[in-house]
């Protein structure tokens, strides 16, 4: 279990966002605050990129500007999320101490520019960033309305400098203890890599183990450990700053804004204990990403054991960073914001409150445009949403999601699978996870996205796509799920390697072989576009799914065949299987705990089924447990539930492009309109419609 969440003390869904008034004259601030009033904005995030004006040189701090900004927020009665201002370096720092600049994968030491680019191992960066956080916390701890601390900004990237190399060696020494153990972990006899001294270890980059970029490495163990180390090095930066804050403020919750997608370089699960609450920035890559957004929301909620998270950033209209930057269509901002709340967000915040004057984000959308107008479509939508959130009050604050399904997400498996040779480079871990999540979302299941170390006790169904690496007691805990009558769903490429990324010296899928009741003898793969028709058969009918990319050749050892390949030399052999577990089959199985003495099931999908195929399998698994939701057959209608103190609020969100009629799943009152809804009545949903039903 992660350390318990500590959430900002707010009385309603916090609403507002990043506010950088240092970019415009004082009189504009008054317009800003007048507009905030119109939009029911109660929260501003201040100082994210303030380092260069807070510390004009190494020995001087100057809080004049930030004081004024904070004072204005306090005078306006706003809640403040205060940054430690370390999201971007000041020029003098990079100039005076070149070591703070990162060295890239090609081995080039960068010079001053951009942001989010400090070397995490630089002693100078570590000292000065913590010192800045310390000064800021010392000065502003206790500020009225200060609800949260915001450390850094969107941690990510990597550095390959000498300081990082030294840090890596220290981290390895700590992890492995002896050089023999290191050699064993990295299987260093392969290609004559036996190290005899820690000093011989260099960073894995284009100059050493890699060719064709960061995913092609001669030694996966080295590269995997470097990914782990980088994530930990940045976590240490976060911890340094948090410790500085805690010297002056023992209470106010501390977070950092993660990136969605999710982001490969940072193992959010390993960071989770250090966060008081999770937060993230939602910039979906396209307009039809509702399942992906839901996945990341559920993942953020999973970081702190199901506690609410904050939506720290989203754009009210356009982004600036893409080649093409379409506006959010009418109603979409509202829909996506309520989706965040539906999945557990206790804040809806924007980047940014007023549009930047210059530089690369000058066209990025904002609550207020350059002219400061409050009669634009974007502002009107922001203000209307602000009014709704204000009217909702504390109705769902702190409420949790009653999920019976867990989706396992594992950064180690992600890294290990994507840096490995010999399989299929076109398979991407997040895409596989998303395919399974989308099918769960589609079926209307409430899902917790959890690490493999999470307790599975609360779940009927555990879906663990592409669990390439099996660590610790994960296998036995998955066995426990089926032993008590639950279901486990896994896929190809699972159970391949141990925590060191070395192959299990057993049949594939290693420690999961008994669970799934099979062995994988060969792994065929094909280029994108090449398909093999897989016929799926079971209660509820038959479906032919075009499978692609990966085709494992499965030998059942107890499992029943659910789907078979239709082509190639393995036509007729199993592509999807289901292992039924009676208590006797399961190591440590406890039949008496299985509901109604029912056996559990472990489903294995040995190939890259298309979406329809994944949906077919997922529905069958959910069906067993009565977990297919009431709107499962209405495309793009989402149901998400939050509960608190026995009160249940359900959110019905229509992401589709056409109106739809559905039968209401429950009786209650729509908190947005006050309208009574009776179970079974026809709910007419226009595109982007939202119903927030306080159930009877």
Catalytic positions: 154, 313
Query: Based on the number of CB atoms within 10 Å of its own CB, is 565 exposed (0-12), middle (13-18) or buried (19 or more)?
Result: buried
Q: Which stretch binds Zn ion (CB under 5 A): 45-53, 158-166, 256-264, 300-308?
A: 158-166
Q: Does 364 bind ligand GLA (CB under 6 A)?
A: yes
Q: What angle do CA 171, 177, 180 make, to 5 degrees?
A: 115
Q: Does 575 bind Zn ion (CB under 5 A)?
A: no
Q: How far is CA 112 from CA 88, 91, 161, 674, in A?
A: 10, 6, 15, 55
- H or E stretch at 128: helix 123-140
Per partner kind, with CB cut-offs from 5 to 8 A, the member of ligand GLA, Zn ion, none near residue 504 is none
Q: Are strands 279-281 and 257-259 parallel, antiparallel or unpaired?
A: parallel
Per partner kind, with CB cut-offs from 5 to 8 A, the member of ligand GLA, Zn ion, none near residue 159 is Zn ion
Give me the phi and psi of 55, to 5 degrees please. -140, 90
Nearest in space to 118 (alpha carbons), one of 141, 105, 100, 97: 100
Dihedral sign from CA coordinates of 586, 590, 593, 596: positive
Dihedral sign from CA coordinates of 38, 41, 42, 45: negative
Q: Which is nearer to ligand GLA, 129 or 153 (CB)?
A: 153
Which tokens hold the place of 652? 């019905």
Q: Does 281 bind ligand GLA (CB under 6 A)?
A: yes
The residue to which tokens 């939508």 are assigned: 381
Determine the Cα–Cα distance for residues 432 and 502; give it in Å rounded to an integer: 22
Min CB(631)–Zn ion separation in Å: 49
Give me the phi and psi of 30, to 5 degrees please. -65, -40
Min CB(289)–ligand GLA separation in Å: 15
Q: Which is nearer to ligand GLA, 301 or 364 (CB)?
A: 364
Q: Which stretch binds Zn ion (CB under 5 A): 162-170, 227-235, 484-492, 559-567?
A: 162-170
Per partner kind, with CB cut-offs from 5 to 8 A, the member of Zn ion, ligand GLA, none near residue 119 is Zn ion
Q: Does 651 bind ligand GLA (CB under 6 A)?
A: no
Min CB(138)–ligand GLA separation in Å: 25
Per partner kind, with CB cut-offs from 5 to 8 A, the member of Zn ion, ligand GLA, none near residue 677 is none
335 touches 690 (CB < 8 A): yes
Q: Does 346 bind ligand GLA (CB under 6 A)?
A: no
Q: Which stretch binds ligand GLA (CB under 6 A): 93-101, 221-229, 312-320, 431-439?
A: 312-320
Query: Based on the number of CB atoms within 10 Å of its own CB, is 115 exposed (0-12), middle (13-18) or buried (19 or more)?
Result: middle
Q: How far is CA 101 from CA 95, 119, 168, in A?
A: 9, 6, 17
Determine the Cα–Cα distance for residues 400 and 447; give it in Å rounded to an integer: 12
Q: Which is nearer to ligand GLA, 281 or 610 (CB)?
A: 281
Q: Which is nearer to Zn ion, 163 or 446 (CB)?
A: 163
Per partner kind, with CB cut-offs from 5 to 8 A, the member of ligand GLA, Zn ion, none near residue 267 is none
Q: Does 313 bind ligand GLA (CB under 6 A)?
A: yes
Min CB(361)–ligand GLA separation in Å: 6
Beta strands (DSSP E) in 411-530 are: 447-450, 461-464, 487-491, 518-525
Per partner kind, with CB cut-offs from 5 to 8 A, the member of Zn ion, ligand GLA, none near residue 161 is Zn ion
Q: Which stretch binds Zn ion (CB under 5 A): 154-162, 420-428, 451-459, 569-577?
A: 154-162
Which tokens hold the place of 152? 């850094």
- H or E stretch at 661: strand 660-663
Min CB(288)–ligand GLA separation in Å: 19
Beta strands (DSSP E) in 122-193 are: 146-150
Per partner kind, with CB cut-offs from 5 to 8 A, the member of Zn ion, ligand GLA, none near residue 367 is none
Q: Does 159 bind Zn ion (CB under 5 A)?
A: yes
Determine the Cα–Cα distance for residues 370 and 356; give it in Å rounded to an integer: 8
Q: Does 210 bind ligand GLA (CB under 6 A)?
A: no
Q: Which of residues 127-156 bind ligand GLA (CB under 6 A)?
A: 153-154
Length of the chain: 696
Per partner kind, with CB cut-offs from 5 to 8 A, the member of ligand GLA, Zn ion, none near residue 112 is none
Closest residue to ligand GLA, based on beta-carbon distance: 281
240 touches 130 (CB < 8 A): yes
Q: Which is nearer to ligand GLA, 125 or 258 (CB)?
A: 258
Min CB(18)–ligand GLA separation in Å: 6
Q: Which stretch binds ligand GLA (CB under 6 A): 137-145, 315-323, 514-522, 686-694?
A: 315-323
Min CB(429)–ligand GLA separation in Å: 23
Min CB(171)–ligand GLA separation in Å: 27
Q: Which of residues 163-192 bind Zn ion (CB under 5 A)?
A: 163-164
Query: Based on the number of CB atoms within 10 Å of its own CB, is 160 exposed (0-12), middle (13-18) or buried (19 or more)?
Result: buried
Omega of the bond leading into 509 within 30 degrees of 0 (cis): yes
Size of the site for ligand GLA (CB under 6 A): 11
Per partner kind, with CB cut-offs from 5 to 8 A, the member of Zn ion, ligand GLA, none near residue 164 is Zn ion
Q: What are residue 648's DSSP bridge partners?
A: 643
Binding mask of the shown chain, residues 105 to 124, with x at each position contacting Zn ion by CB under 5 A: --------------x-x---
Q: What angle do CA 311, 332, 628 make, to 5 degrees?
A: 80
Binding mask of the shown chain, residues 231 to 270, with x at each position contacting ligand GLA by CB under 6 A: ----------------------------------------
Min CB(114)–ligand GLA separation in Å: 11
Determine the Cα–Cα distance for residues 578 and 617; give it in Å rounded to an integer: 10
Q: Which of residues 319-338 bind ligand GLA (CB under 6 A)?
A: 319, 321
- H or E stretch at 348: strand 345-350
Q: How far is CA 371 from the centre of its chain?
A: 35
Min CB(321)–ligand GLA separation in Å: 6
Q: Which is nearer to ligand GLA, 64 or 114 (CB)?
A: 114
Which tokens hold the place of 274? 């250090």
Binding site for ligand GLA (CB under 6 A): 153-154, 281, 283, 313, 315, 319, 321, 351, 361, 364
Binding site for Zn ion (CB under 5 A): 119, 121, 159, 161, 163-164
């Amino acid at each position: 279990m992660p350390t318990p969440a500590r959430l900002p003390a707010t009385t309603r869904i916090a609403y507002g966002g990043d506010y950088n008034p240092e970019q415009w004259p004082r009189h504009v601030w008054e317009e800003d605050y007048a507009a905030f009033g119109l939009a029911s904005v109660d929260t501003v995030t201040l100082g994210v990129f303030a380092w260069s004006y807070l510390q004009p040189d190494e020995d001087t701090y100057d809080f004049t500007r930030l004081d004024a900004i904070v004072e204005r927020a306090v005078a306006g009665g706003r809640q403040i999320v205060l940054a430690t201002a370390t999201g971007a370096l000041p020029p003098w720092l990079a100039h005076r101490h070149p070591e703070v600049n990162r060295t890239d994968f090609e081995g080039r030491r960068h010079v001053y520019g951009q942001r989010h680019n400090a070397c995490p191992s630089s002693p100078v960066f570590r000292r000065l960033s913590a010192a800045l956080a310390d000064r800021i916390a010392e000065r502003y701890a206790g500020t009225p309305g200060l609800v949260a601390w915001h450390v850094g900004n969107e941690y990510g990237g990597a550095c390959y400098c000498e300081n990082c190399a030294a840090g890596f060696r220290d981290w390895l020494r700590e992890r492995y203890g002896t050089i023999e153990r290191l050699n064993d972990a990295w299987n260093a006899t392969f290609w004559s890599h036996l190290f005899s001294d820690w000093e011989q270890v260099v960073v894995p980059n284009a100059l050493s183990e890699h060719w064709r970029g960061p995913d092609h490495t001669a030694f996966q163990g080295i590269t995997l450990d470097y990914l782990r180390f980088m994530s930990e090095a940045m976590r240490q930066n976060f911890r340094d700053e948090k410790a500085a804050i805690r010297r002056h403020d023992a209470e106010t919750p501390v977070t950092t804004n993660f990136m969605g997608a999710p982001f490969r370089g940072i193992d959010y699960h390993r960071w989770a204990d250090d966060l008081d609450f999770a937060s993230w920035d939602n910039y979906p890559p396209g307009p039809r990403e509702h399942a992906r957004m839901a996945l990341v929301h559920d993942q953020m909620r999973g970081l702190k054991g199901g506690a609410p998270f904050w939506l720290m950033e989203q754009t009210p209209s356009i982004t600036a960073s893409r080649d093409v930057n379409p506006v959010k269509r009418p109603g979409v901002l509202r829909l996506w914001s309520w989706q965040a709340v539906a999945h557990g967000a206790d804040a809806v915040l924007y980047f940014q409150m007023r549009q930047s004057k210059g530089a690369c984000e000058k066209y990025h959308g904002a609550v207020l445009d350059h002219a400061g107008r409050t009669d634009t479509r974007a502002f009107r939508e922001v203000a209307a949403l602000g009014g709704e959130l204000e009217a909702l009050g504390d109705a769902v604050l702190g409420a949790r999601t009653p999920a019976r399904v867990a989706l396992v997400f594992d950064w180690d498996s992600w890294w290990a699978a994507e840096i490995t040779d010999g399989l299929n480079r076109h398979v991407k871990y997040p895409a596989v996870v998303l395919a399974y999540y989308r099918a769960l979302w589609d079926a209307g299941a409430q899902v917790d996205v959890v690490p493999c170390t999470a307790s599975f006790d609360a779940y009927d169904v555990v879906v663990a796509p592409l669990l390439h690496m099996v660590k610790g007691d994960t296998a036995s805990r998955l066995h426990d799920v089926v032993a008590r009558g639950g279901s486990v769903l896994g896929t190809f490429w699972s159970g391949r390697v141990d925590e060191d990324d070395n192959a299990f010296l057993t049949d594939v899928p290693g420690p999961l072989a008994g669970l799934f009741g099979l062995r994988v003898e060969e792994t065929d793969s094909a280029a994108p576009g090449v398909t093999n028709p897989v016929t799926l058969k079971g209660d509820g009918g038959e479906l032919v799914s075009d499978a692609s990319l990966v085709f494992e050749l499965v030998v059942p050892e107890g499992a029943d065949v659910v789907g078979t390949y239709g082509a190639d030399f393995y036509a007729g052999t199993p592509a999807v299987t289901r292992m039924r577990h009676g208590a006797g089959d399961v190591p440590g199985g406890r039949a008496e705990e299985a509901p109604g003495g029912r056996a559990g099931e472990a489903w294995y999908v040995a190939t890259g089924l298309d979406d329809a195929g994944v949906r077919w399998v997922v529905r069958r698994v959910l069906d067993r447990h009565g977990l297919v939701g009431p709107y499962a057959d209405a495309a793009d209608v989402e149901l998400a539930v939050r509960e608190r103190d026995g009160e249940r609020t359900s959110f019905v969100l229509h992401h589709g492009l056409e109106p739809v009629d559905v039968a209401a799943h429950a009786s209650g009152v729509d908190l947005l309109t006050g309208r009574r809804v009776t179970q079974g009545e026809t709910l007419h949903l226009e595109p982007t419609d939202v119903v927030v039903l306080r159930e009877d």
